Structure 1
């Protein structure tokens, strides 16, 4: 098993399947009267967030606490970072406090890689989203959710729609789904496709309607207006008309297909409220699955599984 989780591309098929299988075992912990395992007792996990996030931070915090780890939440706002402290000095401070894992979200692409490879911390580094680069645990929870509904993802057709240019979720999903053998189609306005997308292991399209009929899952991406420095499309209404998922478009999907969204959603723009709340939508389930997947990642990186392949987090609690 790898020491850090910095990119979905770092995972080979064996590692990815191992994380997903472990998450499947851990998913049942949430339904137990006592939602805790002793697996990481005595370990310290630091959530180091230089960028606002509620969903991801709470998910990692819940995952670590359910494994009995001690959790330190660090927010750049109101900290020494706002006074000019560097990433290096912050990391060295956390290392001095005994951090066994550092979960990093940063507005600059590559910050988690820098933290891991500069050896400012001895603990595992987990990328919780860096700039417009990657968000590997989101891709893992998306794949986990798809696998629970669709089975083995080998040969499945996954359509990713929207603001690919600014989406770290899209990049990580493309890498992981390719590793798992899925066929990925990206649908977006030409202005929201990144330079070099022709080298990605995907098909690209500008026509959403023609991309739905063979899709086993369709993932709608949030329009990230906070990262846009120019007008990438004429108006919100025009974007919604051409690339939004409404009931009529959802009805073009095969009966078994699922609708996904990494959140938070712009209801009425990339997805209508009735589609978001439809029985075929697994958006809330993605949040639940996110805790189990992040528990699996923390367990495999910190729980001693690399040294003892027979160690089982559930059996250990029995």
Structure 2
């Protein structure tokens, strides 16, 4: 396999910047690795020594609760040393460039940067300029990509619709809401397509559908009931009002009326349909409060799975994967 920015000459992960272009084999390998970590997290000893002596810096230029906390917890579970950099109080607020920030932190001998930034392509910039042996993990860049969220969504779907790897080939997945501003939607679409999902739909008003998205192999719906008909998985997206310049919607109440998942709408779907959301949720906007934590919702499970998935990616880049360690233990018996 030819090396790329994300992969080394042997086809192993060097950075994780996007799910676009990653092979089905590699995606399934990451999901299998996450299964091993998830199993370990449910045991008595949740801590592993995989990344002992390694240093990981969470470099978040945008606010985050779930993503930053699960990255931090994942690194700590692997015994890495973790530093959370408060960017608003760092030298970037004084005019320091991204390049200078990277080089300054590299001088502190960090092994991995987990980067969240409001600009699309920021993680790629870091990866292109990172020193050999320094890994970049994209925790969300602009509207572009959120690969670990995409992976944990795939993990959750396979957990509840699998366990066979070909379970995606039987599924209809509807992604509903602010697709235009969503990096999660893009990562989900890339991952779902690579795993052979039978049908991927995006459902939103015309103002929240990005131009050319049909070229990604999805079906576009502007009517929620039509878009949800027969769906096995519903992934709801938050309205990202902080990224909206101008009038995209008449009102939040009208959006909920036309595109919100209420209990009444959910009742029209198959009882085995699962509901997901990357968070944070807006009750009464994209989802009803009685749906958010109802019996078909997997929102809290997604958060839990995020720890195992991020442990999997970190260990595959910086240390021996849990699946390889298990094989080594068996060979010594």
Task: Give TM class, smaller chain.
Answer: over 0.9
Unmatched 5+ stretches in structure 1 = none
The ranges of structure 1 where at least 4 consecutive aligned residues each deviate by more than 6 angstroms after the TM superposition are none
1:225 aligns with 2:236: no
Unmatched 5+ stretches in structure 2 = 1-11
1:89–1:250 Cα change, 3 Å: same
2:300 to 267, 280, 284: 284
Structure 2 partner of 1:77: 88
Q: TM-score, normalization: structure 2?
A: 0.91
Task: Name the SS of the counterpart of 2:170 in structure 1.
Answer: coil
Q: 1:241, CA displacement in angstroms?
A: 0.5
Task: Name the SS of the counterpart of 2:88 in structure 1.
Answer: coil
Alignment root-mean-square deviation, CA: 1.8
Q: 1:28, CA displacement in angstroms?
A: 2.1
Distance in 2, Cα, partners of 1:109 & 1:310 = 34
Distance in 1, Cα, partners of 2:302 & 2:275 = 11
Structure 1 residues 275-284 or 204-213, which shifts more? 204-213
Q: 1:235, CA displacement in angstroms?
A: 0.7
Structure 1 partner of 2:159: 148
5 Å matches for 1:1-318?
1-120=12-131, 122-151=133-162, 152-182=167-197, 183-305=199-321, 310-312=324-326
1:310–1:236 Cα change, 3 Å: closer
Q: 1:313, CA displacement in angstroms?
A: 9.3
1:3–1:313 Cα change, 3 Å: farther
Q: How many residues align?
A: 315
Task: Name the SS of the counterpart of 2:46 in structure 1.
Answer: coil
Residue pair 1:92, 1:121 contacting (<8 A) in 2 also: no
Question: Could you report, residue by residue, the CA deviation over 1:12-48 in whole angstroms, capped at 9, with x for unpaired residues?
Answer: 1011000101111110232233320111111111111
Structure 1 residues 202-211 or 29-38, which shifts more? 29-38
Q: 1:255, CA displacement in angstroms?
A: 1.8
Task: Name the SS of the counterpart of 2:181 in structure 1.
Answer: coil
Q: TM-score, normalization: structure 1?
A: 0.95
Structure 1 residues 242-251 or 121-130, which shifts more? 121-130
Residue pair 1:110, 1:133 contacting (<8 A) in 2 also: yes
1:314–1:295 Cα change, 3 Å: farther
Residue pair 2:33, 2:323 contacting (<8 A) in 1 also: no
Distance in 2, Cα, partners of 1:50 & 1:304 = 30
Task: Name the SS of the counterpart of 1:46 in structure 2.
Answer: strand
Question: Could you report, residue by residue, the CA deviation over 1:155-197 in whole angstroms, capped at 9, with x for unpaired residues?
Answer: 3110000000000000100001000111210001000011211
Task: Name the SS of the counterpart of 1:256 in structure 2.
Answer: coil
